[in-house]
Structure 1
Amino acid sequence: MPSATAVEPPEPTLGETMAGVTAWVRENPLATLLLAICGGLLVYFYGFYSVFMNGAQSTAVWAWKGWNDENDQVHCRFIAPIILFILWQRRGELISIVKEPSLRGLAFVISGIVLFVLGIRCLQARLAILSLPLVVYGSAEYLGGKACARIFIFPCLLMLFMVPVGGVIQSTVTLQLLASKTVGALCALLGIHIQLIGTTINVDGHSFEVAGGCSGIRSLMAMTMLAALYVYYALGRLWQQFVVFAGSIFFALIGNIARLFTVVLVAKFWNPEIAGGLYHDYSGFVFFPIAVLAMVGFGNLISRDWSQASARIAKTLTAPDHEAPRKDVDEVEGEKKPASPISYDY
């Protein structure tokens, strides 16, 4: 008899979800009140409590303005909808799990509040943004327990990518030097004459500065966020997720160095103005997808079941040879034996 396979229950519809939420609200009025208070406080302090930029911007407004083209972080504006989508996908678990409130969640909530107050006092909006994952995770564990908080782990980690890099780009001297020196080494290896002075590359009298934005920090931020989403959905084992996520940093840096190297090649063998203008501005749309594909290929490589693959290869190598096709003419000691004469019946 064929073995029965486990069938996962379908995700609840919108109506079933609303019915489940309504039932939970009726059964847990105190938890509902606490949840409403926490949600209201989060919306007010992060969205409407204006303290930054001389009291003109709240934490949310400051972050929104930091997600701009200059910082190459426009993609951060989609993080909140992505988090809501992930939680919506796991709505069945959130409804069905047994809620066991845990006081340990208060430790995370208090830590987040302290960090938020510290960010307000120091006028460091990044600290205020970093406090949000602590508050959300702590609230989930305090109201729903460890099983509920476990669902919020990845969305809370994804919130870390909401921090605008902004002035952090000015502190990327190490990455700038790494990129410029690597490009210089590649040119020396291939016999391409350039002059390297710090982070400035001189190509036939034309200077190209490896600025903070060209250091790889921006592509690094985007790549790591994509890597986090990829490993969350595509890889099941924790060690595979960590390896691919760490490897995404390497692929982002390599892709950026390859882009800078091609800028030098375009300036050397074609047109320096095009290299520093049109090609520099749009080459990222070529090398970044290549880096992403390299990361996906690496993830596919380490997630394959190599034991089955090696077993198939071994079976192919050890399989007996097929019988040689039968010939119409027998060969005896290298000489052909004529076929039997054909008889005709009249």
Structure 2
Amino acid sequence: MMEEFRIYLQRIKPASWMKGILYGLLLLVIYRSSLQWLILNDWPREDYSYACLIPFVVLYLLWEKRRELAELPSTPSWGGMFPLGLGLVFFWLGELGGELFAQYFSLWLVVLGVCWIHLGWRKIKAIGFAFIMMLAMFPLPHFINTKISLGLKLISSQIGVWMLHLYGMSAYREGNVIDLGFTQLQVVDACSGLRYLFPLMVLSLILAYWFKARFWKKAVLFLSSIPVAIFVNSFRIALTGVLYSFWGPAVAEGFFHGFSGWLIFLFTTGIMLVEMWILNKIGKDDLETASRVCESGTEVVEETMNSGNWKRSFLQPQFLAAGIFLALTLGLSEGVEFQGKTPGKQPLHEFPLQIGEWSGTREAMEQAFIDTLDLSDYVIVNYRDRKNRAVNFYTAYYENQQKGESIHSPDTCLPGSGWKFSQAEEVVIKAKKGKSMRVNRVLMEKDGEKQLAYYWFPMRGRVLTKLYQLKLYNFWDALTRQRTDGALVRVITPIASSEKTADADMRIRNFLNEAVPLLPAFIPD
């Protein structure tokens, strides 16, 4: 096998080696900060610890296609300029907008474009699955990852409680906390199911690729990995609750907790294999041969250019165009400073405790939450009016929203505490001596309690309500104003059982009428 590998390497022309090295160096320099974050921060995360193995899977998939690639000629094509150009657009969206996934997707598009330019569509089509697998190396955007994790925690908790009831145990769920009476189990991120879902989806995708069956059977095998992962994770949560009653907290932490995760994953892998066996028994498939190309060892079709004609090779129009685009991207990203100095402001801890009729007391946030949120400054104040009606005021300021450090939205944080959104809409408010502005309004409930929340994102003179707007304006303002600072403002008030929602609305609006005019001193326009 090694001898065969050596022969194939010898067939690659020296000029092609040099082009590959030049492309590799350019991409390493252009994407070095994103690759560093990927390797040092994203891959060590337990939810994505499998991703470091994907490059080896991709290399094997390419090796598996070596004979088919040898039979196909390399036909330079301008078609690869489209994914290359689109990839560079995503590069700047990620670089200036502070979104790492845009950078990862950009790298994937650029590699696809470069290979398409020099190899041609036929070869790209032959190794298309390897490119699909490459996407599994990259974690999803943070806000999507958070929403999926939150949803899986709630679903797993619900099903887990249902399983405990089937077993005969008394269990009550509040958000992602399961009350067993003698103890409480919290379904945290580690138990959300992401550590089963994504690896199992990748595994099922590989199995479907090698599964010699009709397309619908491959699709069923892949899609079934989602409910299987959720179900077995719920079973693990229920099993933890059952065993807790016998052996105590040791089953919910430490070695047993981690080892049970491995056992569950092996169990789900067995389920996928059994599913393949069942699908194989359904109907009769015209199976493809194990190898899609002849094993005759056909020699590589020579390119039209002579291997020794270095000048002609490096003056190839497609190579020059791709090289110029990448070199310009490198020069601009290294030579232009897109993060300017943030305008001065008052620190948020100086936000007044007396606002009109409202008197407040400050509240401190634990350092662990501050580190997780990556904020630059914050304030939490509990205000009360003369009638002792309460309003909680929270503002978080981000001086520079870089890759991996951006604002966290309440629509992902609050449901994690067990609050269910019964209403979520945008409304218009008007503050004293201020302009009207559109903000998010959320009515939420938990255990019979109700709360009303208003929140929005002040961004350099704008008032935004959606996370995707933050990313787009971060990109645009970094490009035109060299600024990516911004903030989150959130106000919450409890609703008494005898109180109307309209009264709570009026209370928040009265408070904001006094508080909003003070914000510009603490959140620069």
Counterpart selection for 2:11 from 10, 17, 20: 20
2:30 to 42, 45, 48: 45
Gaps (5+ residues) in structure 2? Answer: 286-525
Which of 71, 75, 78 is the aligned partner of 1:100?
75
Q: 1:35 to 1:194 in 2, by over 3 A?
A: same
State whether structure 2 residue 120 is matched by structure 1 residue 145: yes
Aligned to 1:291: 268
Whether 1:207 and 2:184 are equivalent positions in the alignment is yes
User: Displacement, 1:149?
Assistant: 0.8
CA positional deviation for 1:170: 3.5
Higher strand proportion (structure 1 or 2): 2
Aligned: 1:155 with 2:130: yes
Please tell me whether the aligned partners of residues 140 and 152 of structure 1 are also in contact (alpha carbons under 8 angstroms): no
Cα contact 2:163–2:235 (8 A) shared by 1: no
**Does the CA contact (< 8 Å) of 1:195 and 1:201 recur in 2?**
yes
For residues 307 and 108 of structure 1, the distance between their equivalents in structure 2, rounded to whole angstroms, comes to 39
Q: Which residue is 1:195 aligned to?
A: 172
Q: 1:262 to 1:224 in 2, by over 3 A?
A: same
- Which residue number in structure 2 is paired with residue 85 of structure 1? 60
Structure 2 counterparts to residues 258-277 of structure 1, below 5 A: 258-268=235-245, 270-277=246-253
Greater C-alpha Rg:
1
- Output the CA distance in 2 between the equivalents of 1:15 and 1:281: 42
In terms of fraction of residues, the more helix-rich structure is 1
Query: CA–CA distance in 2 between the matches of 1:102 and 1:304?
Result: 44
Q: Hey, what does 1:76 align to over in structure 2? A: 51
Aligned mates of 2:8, 2:121 — CA distance in 1: 21
Mapping of residues 177-326 of structure 1, within 5 Å: 177-268=154-245, 270-278=246-254, 279-304=256-281, 306-307=283-284
- 1:12 shift after superposition: 8.0
Q: What is aligned with 2:152?
A: 175
Answer yes or no: is the 8 Å Cα contact 1:183–1:257 preserved in 2.
yes
How far did 1:129 drift? 0.9
Give the % identical residues.
Answer: 22
Alignment correspondent of 2:40: 65
**So what's the TM-score if we normalise by structure 2?**
0.50
Which structure's relative contact order is higher, taking Cα pairs within 8 Å and 6+ residues apart? 2
Equivalent in 99, 105, 108 of residue 130 of structure 1: 105
- Paired residue total: 282
Partner residue in 1 for 2:89: 114
After superposition, the Cα gap between the structure-2 partners of 1:139 and 1:304, relative to the gap in structure 1 and judged at 3 Å, is farther
* Distance (Å, rounded) in 2 between the aligned partners of 1:305 and 1:181: 33
Q: 1:193 to 1:79 in 2, by over 3 A?
A: same
Q: Which runs of 4+ in 1 moved over 6 A?
A: none
- TM-score normalised by structure 1 residue count: 0.74
Please give the alpha-carbon distance, in whole angstroms, between the structure 2 residues aligned to 1:40 and 1:69.
Answer: 25
Q: Which amino acid aligns with 2:31?
A: Y
Provide, for residues 55-105 of structure 1, a one-character-per-residue CA deviation record: whole Å limited to 9, x for no partner: xxx111100122455434222112112212221222222222022233222
CA spacing shift, 1:290–1:186, aligned 2, 3 Å: same
The Cα of 1:165 is off from its aligned counterpart by: 5.2
What CA RMSD, in Å, does the superposition of the two structures yield over aligned residues? Answer: 2.6
Secondary structure, aligned partner of 1:204: coil
Which sections of structure 1, spanning at least 5 residues, go unmatched?
A: 1-9, 48-57, 309-346
Deviations along 1:246-268, whole A, 9 cap, x unmatched? Answer: 11112211111111110111123
- On the 8 A contact 2:43/2:51 being kept in 1, the answer is no
User: CA separation in 2, counterparts of 1:306 and 1:117?
Assistant: 50
Residues 17-52 of structure 1: per-residue CA shift (max 9 Å, x gap): 123213xx5xxx5x77655543332222223xxxxx
Mapped contact 1:137–1:156 kept (Cα < 8 A): yes
Whole-angstrom CA distance in 1 between matches of 2:87 and 2:174: 45
